[in-house]
Structure 1
Amino acid sequence: MPVEIKPARHLTNAISKTRDHHPNFTLLLGAGASVESGIKSGASLVKDWRQEYAAIHGHPDDAEDYLQSQRWYGQPEEYSMLFEQLFDQPSLRREFIESLIKDANPSWGYVYLVNLIREGVFNTVFTTNFDDLLNEACYLFSTETRPIVCAHDSSIRSIRVFSSRPKIIKLHGDFLFDSIKNTVRELENLEDNMREKFRQCAGEFGMIVIGYGGNDRTIMDTFDALLRNDDYFPHGVYWCVRGDDVPPRVEELSRFSNFHVVKIDGFDSFLATLNGELGFGPPIEDPYIAVRNRLKNLIHALPFPQPWDTTTSVLHDDRVSSRQGASLRGQLMVRGSFGCVRSYRRLISLQDRAIG
């Protein structure tokens, strides 16, 4: 029996009609949520790794035939198998991940998500990603949204499900730690405290899944076990997909009555639409005015000689133009500290995307 795929409006309508009772849902974000932020998806990495693996093993010219003879080719564990084959030491895997995410900038989807968290629509975000984009967006685009980030098993034990402070729970760890999970063996078990917190949230909330293909057996087995029990996911599980292709493991879960597959245009588009459906205003100010307001305090706090008459006058001018904004970039790149420049680059990247 084919899987019923519901339109995105079905989900946004369900959320907006129950707004007086938020939060009703937790989020689970996968790699697809960070593609617009400049991080390659798992599928894109697999494509690159296949060619690299074939070349290393002496099959650059007949790569496709050689790859298809491998037992992991096209299987859910292919990503993990290739990653371990090409980067066989944990330190190498960690350094590769760091290089993959170091230049990423939070996309508009993350900005809208910060707004939705600030408005109380969501309070807990689980993620299989190693990046820090959501936490970074909270600090860049909100003055009051300060989440707790749990990146390893011991850090989550004391977290209360009903605490008002937002929570970001990294199911696979953080690239800053050696305990990241990426290979088949590393993914064999979801840590006890992580699983327990996932179960607690499932007992109180529904879950919306975005950008996740379901390739981690332990997470999918956990979903399967919880969905068998009517005490979990009281508001259902809504699994968002792009297009009409539903991953096999996701299709298996569709046999449960409280599991729904929803078609969206992407992470950024869906969260922008949801923000609008709920009647919330723009998540941040006019682009270059936002840059001015974010940076004027940083400039006054920088540990080198003042004054910066030209720079600060532009920052305080409500008529600041995109040309002047570009000029600020140059001045800060020359005089600014690394931390300020890095924050500025991320702001500029987002503003330029909006204006372009």
Structure 2
Amino acid sequence: MKPIHSRRLIQVVKDLQKTSDQRICFILGAGASVTSGIPSGGKLAREWLQEILEVEGEEGELWTQEHKITEENAPTHYPELFERRFRDSRQNGFEFLNQTMLNKKPSAGYAFLAEILASTRHNVVITTNFDSLTELALYQYTDKQPLVVGHESLAGFARANTQRPLISKIHGSLFLDMANEPDKTDKLAKSWQQALSALFHDRLVIVVGYGGNDGSLMSVLQNLTDYSQLFWCEMQGVDPNPEVIELLETQQGKWVSITGFDELMFDLQQALGLKFREQEIEGMHRNWLS
């Protein structure tokens, strides 16, 4: 499978805006937060692998060999590496993640996304991230208050017909129990599976920054057949993992090559006919009018 240029996705969105009342659903992974200063899951996984090998020595080498974990495929083993690295103190692991995300500010891309969520019918985000960047951007750049669903017991509130921006945190958040170990990321609770099935129904799904390395959300995507179109965005020069390629081939989805999350969200906002509010983005790290 070969990637398509992001311009083709933008054209699809423009056509949708003119000729259809169909909705877009966004799936965000850790890669979407890199320009906000939060390291990607792949980067953390590789760091944990090196720390395991340095601290555990031969025992660590035997463990990585047994699980067939290498520097190259470490991102696909993120849950196992987190569990191993912090096996002596789960609390230290969660505190590490908390400090990693503490006081981070939304990048320009989140400002553009917030405008889309607040001003159009495309108001649903499903994320595996623990951070609060999407909701912070909504509070900062719009007058809309999002509905944030961050625990499986609340999944029933993640309804497809909501008029408010909806942020569904399927692995939890910093303020609730975070699902970061294999036994929690391999399978979603039934309540989440049902909610996601309704949210994906007949929607154009755009995936950004999500590697497909957990079994939970990937399992839902593999088993659903009623979303309209699936566009999986990866950075230029980065290939999706084999499971993602198989998913796209099965679902007749598209692999989209992008230059970055911020750039894509800017283009999508423009495609949807939203006014670019320069004064509200002023002071961010990049001049988006240059």
Residues 1:353 and 2:285 aligned together: yes
- Partners of 2:41 and 2:55 lie apart in 1 by 20
1:264-320 per-residue CA deviation (whole Å, 9 max, x = no partner) reads: 1110011111222333222352666xxxxxxxxxxxxxxxxxxxxxxxxxxxxxxxx
Residues 1:69 and 2:69 aligned together: no
Alignment partner, residue 201 of structure 1: 199
The answer (yes or no) to whether the contact 1:72–1:81 under 8 Å persists in 2 is: no
- Partners of 2:22 and 2:97 lie apart in 1 by 32
Q: Give the alignment's TM-score, normalised by structure 2.
A: 0.89
- 3-state DSSP of counterpart to 2:159: coil
| Greater length-normalized contact order (CA 8 Å, ≥ 6 residues apart) | 2
- Partners of 1:9 and 1:264 lie apart in 2 by 9
1:30-52 per-residue CA deviation (whole Å, 9 max, x = no partner) reads: 00000000000011112211221
Superposed counterparts of 1:1-356, under 5 Å: 3-20=1-18, 21-22=20-21, 24-58=23-57, 69-73=65-69, 74=73, 77-88=76-87, 89-142=89-142, 144-178=143-177, 180-227=178-225, 232-234=226-228, 236-244=229-237, 245-285=239-279, 351-354=283-286
The answer (yes or no) to whether the contact 1:19–1:121 under 8 Å persists in 2 is: no
Q: Once superposed, what is the RMSD of the aligned Cα atoms?
A: 2.3
- Partners of 1:66 and 1:28 lie apart in 2 by 36
Greater radius of gyration (CA): 1
Shift of 1:68: 6.0
Shift of 1:91: 2.3
Q: Which moved more, 1:243-252 or 1:67-76?
A: 67-76
Q: What is the percent sequence identity of the aligned residues?
A: 29
- Partners of 2:287 and 2:27 lie apart in 1 by 30
1:225-256 per-residue CA deviation (whole Å, 9 max, x = no partner) reads: 113xxxx012x111111124121111111222
* Residues 260 and 355 of structure 1, relative CA distance in 2, 3 Å threshold: closer
- Partners of 1:193 and 1:259 lie apart in 2 by 26
- Partners of 1:68 and 1:106 lie apart in 2 by 35
The answer (yes or no) to whether the contact 1:28–1:208 under 8 Å persists in 2 is: yes
The answer (yes or no) to whether the contact 1:115–1:283 under 8 Å persists in 2 is: no
- Partners of 1:268 and 1:252 lie apart in 2 by 27
The answer (yes or no) to whether the contact 2:110–2:134 under 8 Å persists in 1 is: yes
The one-letter code sitting in structure 2 at the alignment partner of 1:353 is H
The one-letter code sitting in structure 2 at the alignment partner of 1:86 is R
1:184-211 per-residue CA deviation (whole Å, 9 max, x = no partner) reads: 1111320122111110122231211000
- Partners of 2:220 and 2:274 lie apart in 1 by 34
- Partners of 2:135 and 2:98 lie apart in 1 by 16
The answer (yes or no) to whether the contact 2:43–2:75 under 8 Å persists in 1 is: no
Gaps of 5+ in 1: 289-350
- 3-state DSSP of counterpart to 1:215: coil
- Partners of 2:16 and 2:65 lie apart in 1 by 51
- Partners of 2:183 and 2:193 lie apart in 1 by 17
The answer (yes or no) to whether the contact 2:29–2:208 under 8 Å persists in 1 is: yes
Q: Which moved more, 1:67-76 or 1:206-215?
A: 67-76
- Partners of 2:119 and 2:235 lie apart in 1 by 26
The one-letter code sitting in structure 2 at the alignment partner of 1:209 is V
The one-letter code sitting in structure 2 at the alignment partner of 1:194 is W
**How many residue pairs get matched?**
282
Gaps of 5+ in 2: none
- Partners of 1:104 and 1:278 lie apart in 2 by 28
- Partners of 1:253 and 1:75 lie apart in 2 by 21
Q: Give the alignment's TM-score, normalised by structure 1.
A: 0.74
- Partners of 1:19 and 1:119 lie apart in 2 by 13
Shift of 1:77: 4.6
The one-letter code sitting in structure 2 at the alignment partner of 1:53 is I
* Residues 80 and 204 of structure 1, relative CA distance in 2, 3 Å threshold: same
The answer (yes or no) to whether the contact 1:22–1:120 under 8 Å persists in 2 is: no
The answer (yes or no) to whether the contact 2:159–2:198 under 8 Å persists in 1 is: no
- Partners of 1:287 and 1:202 lie apart in 2 by 31
